[in-house]
Structure 1
Amino acid sequence: MSESQQAGLLPASKNKAKLCAGKATDLRTVWEDLRSEAKRVVEEEPTLRHLVDDVILSRETLAAALGARLARRLAREDMPRVSMEPLLTGVFEAYPQIVHAASRDLLAMFERDPACFSPLEPLLFFKGFLALTTYRVSHQLWVDERRWLALYFQSLASEVFAVDIHPAARIGCGILLDHATSFVVGETAIIEDDVSILHEVTLGGTGKESGNRHPIIRSGVLLGAGAKILGRVEIGTGAKVGAGSVVLNDVAPHNTVAGVPAVVVGVSREQNPAIEMNQHLDCCGNI
């Protein structure tokens, strides 16, 4: 990585990227809450005992639980669970910042998704969370120059979760990836902290150009279902992009855009649309 990449500087902007900024979660508290909820699940639904025991109750740490859950979903003939789980758990234990990022994603999904009643739900069942955590592993492998293995995990996530995030993309913490199906992120894309993204969103390029060619998504942005954001455009802090929109130009902070091609239709009523998850355009209708 170049010095500017290490510093988090954006070639298309003078602003530093907010990637996992702010206070980290208390992993001990998160883990204790997950274990408490897991015990309740086993009592209420004994048929899920094997899954919950394997992923949560038999584990000592969230790192081990993440390794077990992903291994259950991703293992296959060319990398069986007996090989995959130690590899994944080893990455989580060696890089605790990934576990902190995953915990912030869990809490983001619990806090913003009205259909989610416990942080345990994303860990066990939400493919958006599992795909994002797989990306976090592949990104670390990419940074460590284990690029073939990083691409292997990208391929697995695409096959299993229908989510395709290039390992070189840079994604912050507190991400809500809701439903997640057909979410695509290109190699040079940047997503800052506390962004909410619905299904079928594409952060892509516009052709065969090289270099920084994918979007920058700033903190607090809400991306509606099916939005396509193409090229090295910047979606400003607290902006909204309406469902099905095609964005080819920068969006100023706190603006709401919609349409094909997208145009400004209003100003966000919320300071942080990603947190509020208000699925209305700010002029005339629903996202």
Structure 2
Amino acid sequence: MAVTANKIAKHDPVTKHDPVWSAIREEAVRVAADEPLLGSLAHSAILHHERLEDALSYILAQKLGNDALPALGLREVMEEAFDADPDIGNAVRADLVAVNERDPACRGFLKPLLFFKGFQSIQSHRVAHWLWQQQRETMAFLLQSRTSEIFGVDIHPATRFGRGIMIDHGTGVVIGETAVIEDNVSLLQNVTLGGTGKETGDRHPKIRRGVLIGAGANILGNIEIGEGAKIGAGSVVLIPVPPHCTAAGVPAKLLGDCGCEQPAREMDHALPDTADDAQD
């Protein structure tokens, strides 16, 4: 049975029912059989582990570890976070399902887990955010710094994410400290969720459920992008955007209804045919 956003079952550590992890292991077995050169990777990264969390900590630690942050120690920190907050693992699974459903270049769960830096950067951030909440700010910033260096995605450790998030490609994404990204949001490369200057306090955008943000969009200031809204590629958004509305341009204007309940799932970046009703 296909694992979809509507049918995803939460991981049950008691019964060990975990459809996402089962699907990943099946994919890894096929890869090891079809590509003998990748057999070692399939075993070390996937088949050697009992849980998705264990595999993820191994994969991220191998990529992010360095002399200042040894891979073995980093893996221990990540597993500490996963064990302390099981909801992180549920969010990881929802993010994998989101990538598989929305990215036409994705076929299954194994490839984003192993290779997609947008997905990997979100999961690294989830650990950094947990560290931030534990008042371990220096460790959180160190992990954030390594994530930025390796994946090209710069997310402040305090940023709050929901689940079912897809960052497609990832390169050049910058998200500020007080930003909030709710469930089932999709954003593409070179998106900035930033401030407008040197303000302090709550100064970054609030992105509500189901929003789609096109490549190169800049959303600046403590403004709300309403549920199910769509932001056109290359836009500079300085005004709030109502729910289920499309905004585009420099500076962005409101162009009318976006035509569906959750653009993030449809991934249709087309803008309305006319902008006769555009508002300042």
TM-score normalised by L of structure 1: 0.89
CA–CA distance in structure 1, aligned partners of residues 85 and 108 of structure 2:
25
Aligned sequence identity (%): 51
The question of whether the paired residues in 2 share the 8 Å contact of 1:38 and 1:120 is answered with: yes
Gaps of 5+ in 1: 1-21
SS across alignment from 2:183: coil
Aligned match of 1:9: none
Instruction: Look up the match of 2:245.
Output: 255
Q: CA deviation at 1:23?
A: 9.2
Tell whether 2:43 aligns with 1:53.
yes
Partner of residue 181, structure 1: 171
2:22 counterpart (16, 25, 32): 32
CA distance, structure 2, for counterparts of residue 222 and residue 236 of structure 1: 11
SS at match of 1:102: helix
Q: Is the 8 A contact 1:215 1:230 kept in 2?
A: yes
Alpha carbons 1:239, 1:251 under 8 Å: kept: yes
- Does the 8 Å CA contact 1:265/1:283 hold for their aligned counterparts? no
Deviates further, 43-52 or 133-142: 43-52
Any unmatched runs of 5+ in structure 2? Answer: 1-5, 12-17, 276-280
Superposition pairs for residues 119-268 of structure 1, below 5 Å?
119-268=109-258
Say which structure, 1 or 2, has more relative contact order (CA 8 Å, 6+ apart): 1
TM-fit CA distance, 1:282: 2.0
Partner of 2:105: 115
TM-score (norm 2): 0.91
Specify the alignment match of 1:276 in structure 2. 266
Residue 17 of structure 1 corresponds to: none
Q: CA RMSD in A?
A: 1.5
Contact 2:8 2:19 in 1 (8 A): no
Residues 138 and 246 of structure 1: CA distance in aligned 2, closer, same or farther (over 3 Å): same
Aligned length: 264
Q: Deviations over 1:228-255 (max 9, x none)?
A: 0000010001110000000001001111
Code of the aligned partner of 2:267: M
Q: What secondary structure does 2:247 align onto?
A: strand
What is the Cα deviation at residue 178 of structure 1?
0.2
Q: Is the 8 A contact 1:230 1:248 kept in 2?
A: yes
